[in-house]
Amino acid sequence: MLYNKFNSIFLSILLLMFSCGDDKSSKSTNSSSDVGQTTESSIKNNNPKEKESGLKKELLWTAYKTPNKIPVNGSFKNLSLTNTKEDKPLEESLEGAKFYIDGTTVTSGDSSRDGTLTLFFFKRLASSEIYGSFGKFENNKVMITITLNGKTISKEFSYKLEKNIITIQGSIDLLKDFDSQRAFTSLHRACFDLHEGKTWTEVDLTAIISK
């Protein structure tokens, strides 16, 4: 029994040491082939009655760690877009469109970090699934409704349209916007040493959608 208890403690220490990824891996995230890639086989439509859009899409996130606010970049493998009107110009096509994200498919170019984000953050939320929809695209601004941790908010994002590519940018605050104290504290504690005691609550988002 004592031996099994020792093994359990030893494995827990190893998890905390290696689960958050190291500085080298976070700096190389942008060059990873996993980041920002969404394949048809990985897409899960949260409403099977709604047809998956034929538009190309990717969602990139940037979180921050350490007092120096070092960025960590990533994406999600499971990203779904529905209710688009693809016979219309891109801005009109996306008005009223819905999106779905499976948080447990988070990818950052570091498999150990991905495991930590899944185990200590997304699985500690009320739901690991993220839903949302787009409002009207006008004057380079769009209101986006987002449901995370069982809480729904609407935030204004900016966008720019170049040819047939629209880039939407904005930020969320995990605590102020979604009351995710339990999940955030869990992640912060798991990564406390590697984050030098500082995990930032804001996350920058960039969605790129094209025909």
Q: Is the per-residue pLDDT at 30 higher than 80?
A: no
Exposure class string for 170-203: b at 16+ Cβ within 10 A, else e: bebebeebbebeebbebbbebbeebbeeebbbeb
Domain architecture of the chain: domains with CATH: 2-210 (2.40.128.110)
| Region 2-10 average pLDDT | 44
At 175, list the tokens: 């605590």
pLDDT value of position 145: 98
Min mean pLDDT across 42-51, 52-61, 128-137, 146-155 is at 42-51
Of 29, 28, 49, 65, nearest to 203 by C-alpha is: 65
Of 210, 208, 205, nearest to 74 by C-alpha is: 205
At 204, list the tokens: 């920058």
Give, as one character, the DSSP assignment of residue 51.
P
pLDDT value of position 21: 59
Question: What integer best gives the mean pLDDT of the chain?
Answer: 84
pLDDT in tens, 95-149: 999 999 999 999 999 999 999 999 999 999 999 999 999 999 999 999 999 999 9
pLDDT value of position 46: 52
pLDDT in tens, 200-211: 999 999 999 999
